[in-house]
Amino acid sequence: MSSARSPFGMLKTAFDAVFRQDVALRRGPGGVRVVLKGRDGALEAPPTPEDLERRRREDELLQAREELTRLLDEEHTSRATMRHLAVVEHTLGRVGWQALERVPLDVLQRALQQLEERVSNWSARGLACLRSRMAVAVAERLRREGQPSGDAAAALDSPPQAARKAIDEARVRAAAPEAGGDDAEQALRAAYGSLIDPSRPGA
């Protein structure tokens, strides 16, 4: 018998640690599956297709949000000039992909237009995914809801007093970047969020 300190013993120990693991059978809705047991004896089921799809959607959302935020952060006035796209950014952070159902359709249409006008290189996977999802959502909602009146998009073109004040503050801060613009940016995002009706279906 080889000792634990011999080369063969250490190799056997490493092999056992990596490859030897108890297995068990578990019966579920999809039939019988082989599952692994951890060192404490607890069953470790492999991820289901539903788990994998949920993780994929979560990863796509995170990447899309991060890349959209970086895009809007490139210039201090981006959220003031691309208000509709800023609404989408804000709502994605609040409700995830449900934002594409919750944001008023005409605002979503204008946001998609702003995104396509701003981005020329779609190699960024998050932005490409966002563009694709927005386009699909617009097409599906147009089929369900018909052409929107445009009132919500017009409200952002001429925002209410709270949003206008936040936008003006952001522009002033942008003119003097040494003063810092974080507070104005947060106020601007909050004002955009207040334009979304929380009682809208799909929340």
pLDDT at 39: 56
pTM metric for this prediction: 0.62
Q: Which long-range contacts (CB under 8 A, 24 or more apart) does 143-149 make?
A: 145/105, 148/104, 148/105, 148/106, 148/109, 149/106
pLDDT, tens digit, for every residue of 67-118?
A: 999 999 998 888 888 989 999 999 999 899 999 999 999 999 999 999 999 9
- Determine contact, residues 115/130, Cβ cutoff 8 Å: yes
The domains of the chain are located at 51-146
Q: What is the pLDDT of residues 117-155, one digit of tens each?
A: 999 999 999 999 999 999 999 999 999 999 988 888 887
